[in-house]
Amino acid sequence: MLMFDFHCHCILSDGELLPSELVRRVEILGYQAIAITDHADASNLDHIIPRLVKVAGDINRHGGTRLLPGVELTHVHPELISRLAAEARDLGARVVVCHGETVVEPVCPGTNRSALEADIDILAHPGFISEEEARLAARRGIFLEISGRKGHSLTNGYVARLARAHNAPLVINSDGHAPGDFMTAEHARRVGRGAGLSAEEVEALYRRAADWLKQKVQA
């Protein structure tokens, strides 16, 4: 069964696990790939990304679950997102996530919009994203996230409805910080169904993610 997660955290920010343990734990859950995307701003981008690139080099030589080094730009001013996303790419981030306007944190208004105009891959937990922003995500091929995380998941149904209406790509991520947060393939599909997606829409979402991953790995 296809299974990925492109948004989670290790000890390089506020997660509990070393990258190696995190990857091992999802390997036994049958994941084909995982992106570790630690919280970053200008203070720590150059701390996190080179370390994830280094450990990914080691881990990926031995097969199993593929580790993609990434980052989650978190609570940075909307005007800084584009520059920091470019810096993250230069440092070797394969997956750039932006911490969107979740309803459970005071994320700066305008974050969703600026993130969708920047070189990012995934807008995490976008909260009450606008119709125009959903269209922008579709046009730019940026994934809108259905979150497995408590709190952020409150608007999953809303996000799924707008994504369907405007043909924006969706991805289901755990936003895991601790061992118990990583979802089985079955649970991730329940999260998708719980957001109002059909079983077929959920499988289509994973097939699209698989194609995207293939391009990432070959790039």
Collapse the DSSP code of 143 into the 3-class scheme (helix H, G, I; strand E, B; otherwise coil) and give the result.
Answer: strand
Cβ proximity of 17 and 10 under 8 Å: yes
State which residue, 5 or 72, has the beta carbon closest to Zn ion.
Answer: 72
State which residue, 5 or 175, has the beta carbon closest to Zn ion.
Answer: 175
Of 24-32, 103-111, 124-132, 191-199, which part binds Zn ion (CB under 5 A)? Answer: 124-132
Secondary structure letter of residue 32 according to DSSP: S
Minimum Å gap between C-beta 123 and Zn ion is 10
Task: Work out whether 175 is an interface residue with Zn ion (CB under 5 A).
Answer: yes
Minimum Å gap between C-beta 125 and Zn ion is 6
Task: Work out whether 95 is an interface residue with Zn ion (CB under 5 A).
Answer: no
- Give the span between the Cα atoms of 61 and 102, in whole angstroms: 36
State which residue, 125 or 166, has the beta carbon closest to Zn ion.
Answer: 125
Cβ proximity of 124 and 72 under 8 Å: yes
Minimum Å gap between C-beta 7 and Zn ion is 6
State which residue, 126 or 192, has the beta carbon closest to Zn ion.
Answer: 126
Task: Work out whether 124 is an interface residue with Zn ion (CB under 5 A).
Answer: yes
Minimum Å gap between C-beta 13 and Zn ion is 8
Among 12, 59, 95, 99, binds Zn ion (CB under 5 A): 99
Partners of 171 in the beta sheet? 145
Task: Work out whether 145 is an interface residue with Zn ion (CB under 5 A).
Answer: no
Tokens 């269209």, residue located? 135
State which residue, 63 or 180, has the beta carbon closest to Zn ion.
Answer: 180
The Cα-based distances of 153 to 39, 126, 204, 214 in angstroms read 18, 10, 20, 27
Torsion of CA 82, 152, 101, 90, to 10 degrees: 0
- Tell me the H-state helices in the chain: 19-27, 45-61, 78-91, 111-117, 131-140, 156-166, 185-194, 199-218
Of 54-62, 71-79, 130-138, 182-190, which part binds Zn ion (CB under 5 A)? Answer: 71-79
Of 79-87, 123-131, 132-140, 200-208, which part binds Zn ion (CB under 5 A)? Answer: 123-131
Positions touching Zn ion (CB under 5 A) are 72, 99, 124, 175
